[in-house]
Chain A
């Protein structure tokens, strides 16, 4: 029972106006107790998918199963899920207490139980002292906590969060990220969060589904998503990455031989053939004045272009004779400013490990 996924999305599609595919044949499973993120650019269908879980949108095709129960004919107010809305949707004419107690009132719980559970939920989000406040007397962060308490007090099987942090300022957003993770561990409820902010998804979620154009591109834990993106879209969408175009032919044994003009011919492990991109993350690139000798490296001569200094690292752009520059994040590992200063026009050997290189097909 507890091994069965809490949410099963089976070949779900959503068409608007008969032609526009907002969600296109999505298959997903969310495990019990997971912190799951739906990540993608705006218009990728992630919010539509979340709203189908809540019951505000009806799938055009496919099936949504929550805790083993088909949700096709279940109205939003009868589903074992609760949602935290992007605008928080705190009822402006009700006090904090009334807001949080509203869902229990709808369940016709006895007044004493409502009182106890509301107090408990408010303590959980550290708002116990503001129970009598009206929403317009609270900050955005506090209102969001009200929205969280109001959803959690119902003890849903799944908590849905629609871009919950997008309206907060940067500092508060970071604090709330940690807070949400703590909360999820405390209550043990499955969280499904929708976000367009990759750092938010990477830092909070156990698993992430990256979506684009209504389709799921990849589902993986954060590190796997970052280090082993399934395709160009995911590689490009998550973090920064350099892509060098080339042609690949199979070289046997799970290896391909890639010809990419500035790099010459390299043999790498991979399966994609034909037009491919050699992809490498900026922080995996090293620079040196001398040519490195190690055959396990890919190396190229580059001329320093733009340099952006970020304190802990510098983002350096090298011209390697391609249309777009190769960017490298060089950690400032010592206090020797001289050593870590790059001047435009200087030439360096730029290199990285073959094993850090991805071969991405189209």
Chain B
């Protein structure tokens, strides 16, 4: 019936979406956020070496990327490191979060603050520190794949697990302690309480933490740059070295693949988390 109305409604106090200024701000924000990324993806299909003007559609550069052994190795390195980092960081993060949430012990505040250090320390400092550290303890070089990725993986775990711990800790805050008392009352041991009641509640946090660790590790450049050797180049480091020569569509193609991997992982994690939230809604 609103079609027949002569005068449209005046803009109500809460009709934010209808105010020009807000629309403009949103539009500009979205433009600067996504235009470069969409441009990058579009130009990965550009049939031109120089990559400045559009010269027609091609998937040649994806084929090139696929056939570029050093780029593929870097890609495999990155995925391997990210997967190992994810598994270890999530477990370490979950245990850290549980200990900080469940127990009271002397120096807890100090420990909690110390745990957050890798988050606040500038990445460049952490990178240099890691490099010096591994050089100092004489970490062996030239090991076979994938053991040679050990030092990078350790560095990644060191900075990624606090993020996982914080996310999981936040999730635990919403846990109703009567649930664990109830399980105990019904005859469960401490371990069974953890397994049957606490972990199911933590699950969305575990997934979010894992996702965070995965993307942090996959995207990391600074720390990796300092800990990577000639045989252990990761995808972001490889792209950086390619860009130093020239920005070819191959770089665009490689970047697009990296973005897609991240997007797919994020989407899957969000989907799983959403499903879990539906179940965990009535926890209180």
Interface residues of A (CB under 8 A from B): 54, 56, 75-78, 81-83, 85-87, 89-93, 102-103, 106-107, 134-136, 147, 150-151, 154
B189 contacts A by Cβ under 8 Å:
yes
Contacts of B272 in A (CB 8 A): none
- A82 — which chain B residues lie within 8 A by C-beta? 185-186
Question: Would you call A92 and B281 a contact (CB within 8 A)?
Answer: yes
Known: A77-B188, A87-B284, A91-B179. A102 touches B279 (CB 8 A): no
Chain B residues with CB under 8 Å of A106's CB are: 186-188, 192
Interface residue from A78, A89, A103 paired with B181 (Cβ < 8 Å): A89
Residue of B nearest to A154 (CB): B186
Question: In the complex, A83 Cα to B184 Cα: how many Å?
Answer: 10
What total count of A-B pairs have CB within 8 Å?
Answer: 75
Could you say which residues of chain B place their CB within 8 Å of the CB of A135?
A: 282
B179 touches A89 (CB 8 A): yes
Q: In the complex the two chains form, is A56's CB within 8 Å of B181's CB?
A: yes
* B114: chain A residues within 8 A (beta carbon): none
Nearest chain-B residue to A85 (Cβ)? B178
Q: Flag if A77 contacts B279 (CB, 8 Å).
A: no
Expressed in whole angstroms, the minimum distance between the Cβ of B135 and any Cβ of chain A is 48
Question: CB-nearest residue of chain A relative to B182?
Answer: A89
Chain A CB within 8 A of B196 CB: yes
Q: Which of B178, B181, B185, B280 contacts A92 (CB 8 A)?
A: B280
Query: A87 to B182, alpha carbons, bound, how many Å?
Result: 10
On whether the beta carbons of B178 and A103 are closer than 8 Å, the reply is no
The answer to whether B200 touches A93, judged by C-beta atoms less than 8 angstroms apart, is: yes
Distance between Cα atoms of A181 and B185 in the complex (Å): 23
Please give, as numbers and ranges, the residues of chain A lying within 8 Å of B178 by CB-CB distance: 85-87, 89
Tell me which of A56, A81, A86, A92 contacts B282 (CB under 8 A).
A92
Contacting A at CB under 8 A, from B257-284, are 278-284
Residues of A contacting B182 with CB < 8 Å?
83, 85, 89, 91, 147
A-B contact pairs, 10 of them (CB 8 A): A54-B181, A54-B185, A76-B181, A77-B188, A78-B187, A81-B185, A86-B178, A87-B178, A89-B179, A92-B279
* Complex alpha-carbon distance, A362 and B110, angstroms: 51
Question: Given contacts A89-B178, A136-B279, is CB(A103)–CB(B187) below 8 Å?
Answer: yes
Taking CB as reference atom, which chain A residue is nearest B185? A83
**Contact of B197 with A by CB under 8 A:** yes
User: B186 contacts A150, CB within 8 Å?
Assistant: yes
CB distance from B176 to the nearest CB of A (A): 6
The 6 nearest A-B residue pairs measured at CB = A136-B282, A106-B187, A103-B186, A89-B182, A89-B178, A93-B200
CA distance A66 to B201 in the complex (A): 33
Q: Which residue of A lies closest to B193 (CB)?
A: A77
Residue in A81, A93, A134, A147 whose Cβ sees the most chain B Cβ within 10 Å: A93
Taken together as a complex, chains A and B put the C-alpha atoms of A85 and B181 apart, in Å, by: 9
A89 to B176, Cβ gap below 8 A? yes
CA distance A77 to B192 in the complex (A): 11
B84 interfacial contact with A, CB 8 Å: no
Partner of B187, one of A91, A134, A154: A154
For B282, list chain A residues within 8 Å (CB): 90, 92, 134-136
Shortest distance from the beta carbon of B200 to any chain A beta carbon, whole Å: 4
Q: How far is the CB of B193 from chain A (nearest CB, A)?
A: 9
- Are A93 and B280 in contact, with the CB atoms below 8 A? yes
Chain A residues in 8 Å Cβ range of B179: 89, 91
A-chain residues with CB within 8 Å of residue B188 when the two chains form the complex: 77, 102, 106
